Structure 1
Amino acid sequence: MIIDLLLIGALGFLGSFGHCLGMCGPLTVAFSFSDESLPTRKIPFQFYLLLNLGRILSYALVGALIGGVGSVLIASGQMAGIGSFFRQGIAILTGILLIILGLAQINPTIFHRFPIIHPLSPQNLHHHLSKLMVNVSLQKHFFTPLLLGLIWGFIPCGFLYTAQIKAAETGNIGWGILTMLAFGLGTFPTMLGVGLLTGKFTADRRSQLFRLGGWITLLIGILTLLRTGNHVDYSGYGSLICLIVALIARPISRLWSQPLKYRRVFGVSAFILAVVHTVQMLDHTFQWNLTGFDFMIPQHQGGIIAGGLAFLLMVPLAITSFDKIQNQLGILWRRIHLLAVPAFILAVIHTLLIGSNYLGGFELTLMIKIRVALLLLLSLVVLLIRYQTVWSFFGLKKLYVAPLKQK
């Protein structure tokens, strides 16, 4: 956890040069000028100090709230006998969100607008808090900047999502507070010296630092996923689910448009989880000694081969998941991304042959047979949904969405 706190602090520091300096810097200066008693040609140190202390304090309060909610969820899961499942699920979801945020921070155009539910963001919250800050700024008290900072810290902010998601994943009030404090302290130097730093750093340099923060977010997400324990099935299932959503997103978009809108997110998430699943498999099953493959039963060997081939087919899909590459490849891009279909089939075979809840176990119970049948049925439905002939057979041709013709 100490490493995580250091990374969160580094993220706050580097990201503050890009996001905070550009978005919040002018606001900070504007609030300092709202008090006529403050000097206008130099940074009022006391004002900025209290303002940022209030902001960091509100971060800590949010961290306590989010960490507390996470601890309640985990405790509830443990009482129901599924604590491990809850922890795995929270860790995987957190890791994926952090990686997506990191990629978006590195390259803002890689994803379309991705809706992440903010714990404090009803539709009009931002407006009401901003209005409240304006009213508070007009008050002439020594503690006014502290109150402004307290309110400011509750305003929804995309850059805060990384720290808040990580705070939720801790599942602990104390660690939730420390996570948000580390993030706030990371942003503190920039925000405290905002007037000076604005003149020292060019927009290009701030952008570079902000993107470097994206790489740290990416690293935090990867570390979170790799710490999900030895239950390699969870990351594998997550990859399979994301791949399913990506495959059916286009044909069902007339019935449900959201999956198509965020298909790239699901596709990239499928690949990320596949990478994590592969690393966990190498570490847990083989302990990085591939000679163990020779001692596996033929069924498990077949499952490993199928999974490896599925992963290899997903690599070119991930590499070409950019608008620029898509435009350059034209019709070839779609042909490449049709590899998702055989990748899905191979992933299902991998799951069936080596999955501990399927044929990979040593006992063929009735429940396992039911799971196998359900997975095969689901896989068949996913594949059939992609074909217009099937929709026409059921008289639903008008609801089918065909792929766009590319030149």
Structure 2
Amino acid sequence: MPFAWLLYGAFAGGLGPDPAKTVILQTGEWALRFLLLTLAVSPLRRISGWYWPMRLRRMLGLFAFFYACVHLASFCQFYTGWDAGRLLEELAERPYITVGALAWVLLLPLAITSTHAMQRRLGRNWRRLHRLVYPALLLACVHLAWQVRSDYGEALVYGVFAALLLGYRWFAGRRSRQ
């Protein structure tokens, strides 16, 4: 729905005075939201006892990757014009872009290996590979926080949710090893 709403806004002229900025911001926020939702599934299952959210986890993760791809593609289209030299210049000059690009790079193998066939093919390594979601989430939060100019409130809220989810997983992992 968020993407459909964004498309509607683009065609209806409802994206405000700077549509490029709106598209980039909205797709980035939705990528982070879906990433957080993906990581919230396991704790929700453990706390509530419900199994049905587990069936949504892969889809949520792929939505996160989809929005991250649209976010990156929008940046490339609107700010670099798909010029590789300009893109490298932006990466070198703006560390928050570099961090965001690294987060996307970490999400790429997760999306590629999200199928049942890849789970079987990779075996135990699949789970190890998919732990890349944790540094990807941290990088995404840093990406958001670094680009904020004045109001850190929203970045702080995302950071707190990320810290809670990662902290829960860390404590749950420690308890299961004891």
Q: Distance in 1 between matches of 2:130 and 2:86?
A: 33
- 1:270 to 2:64 alignment: yes
Query: Is 1:322 equivalent to 2:105 in the alignment?
Result: no
Distance change >3 Å, CA 94–CA 391, structure 1 → 2: farther
Matched, 1:308 2:92: no
- Residue among 23, 41, 53 paired with 1:259: 53
User: What letter is aligned with 1:278?
Assistant: L
- Runs of at least 5 residues in structure 1 that lack an aligned partner in the other structure: 1-89, 96-168, 172-228, 393-401, 403-407
Indicate conservation of the 8 Å contact 1:268/1:318, yes or no: yes
Kindly tell me: are residues 351 and 311 of structure 1, through their superposed partners in 2, closer, same or farther at Cα, counting changes over 3 Å? same
Deviation digits for residues 65-100 of structure 1, max 9, x if unmatched?
A: xxxxxxxxxxxxxxxxxxxxxxxxx551479xxxxx
Q: Is the 8 A contact 2:96 2:142 kept in 1?
A: yes
Displacement of 1:237 in angstroms is 0.9
The equivalent position to 2:3 in structure 1, one of 92, 116, 123, is: 92
The aligned residue for residue 250 of structure 1 is 42
What is the percentage of aligned positions where both structures have the same residue? Answer: 27
1:341-380 to 2 correspondence within 5 Å?
341-354=134-147, 359=148, 361=149, 364=150, 368-380=151-163
Alpha-carbon offset, residue 385 of structure 1: 2.0
After superposition, residues 123-202 of structure 1 pair within 5 angstroms as: none
How far apart are the structure 1 equivalents of 2:41 and 2:90?
Answer: 40
Shift of 1:295: 6.7
Q: How many residues align?
A: 162
Q: Is it true that 1:291 corresponds to 2:83 in the alignment?
A: no
Normalising to structure 1: TM-score of the pair?
0.36
* Superposed CA offset, 1:145-181 (max 9, x none): xxxxxxxxxxxxxxxxxxxxxxxx769xxxxxxxxxx
Q: Answer 1 or 2: which has greater helix percent.
A: 2
Task: After TM superposition, give the deviation of residue 261 of structure 1 in Å.
Answer: 1.7
Whole-Å separation in 2 of the counterparts to 1:265 and 1:280: 22
Aligned AA for 1:310? Answer: A
- Change beyond 3 A, Cα 1:241–1:93: farther
Residue pair 1:248, 1:385 contacting (<8 A) in 2 also: no
Larger Rg: 1
Trace 1:40-119 onto structure 2 (pairs within 5 A): 90=1, 92-93=3-4
Q: Distance in 2 between matches of 1:342 and 1:302?
A: 16
Could you tell me whether the CA contact under 8 Å between 1:306 and 1:346 is conserved in 2? yes
Shift of 1:287: 2.4
Q: Which consecutive residues of structure 2, in runs of 5 or more, have no partner in the other structure?
A: 10-18
What RMSD in Å do the two structures reach over aligned CA positions? Answer: 2.8
Q: Does the 8 Å CA contact 2:34/2:61 hold for their aligned counterparts?
A: yes
Q: Residues 259 and 233 from structure 1, CA distance in 2 versus in 1: closer, same or farther, beyond 3 angstroms? A: farther
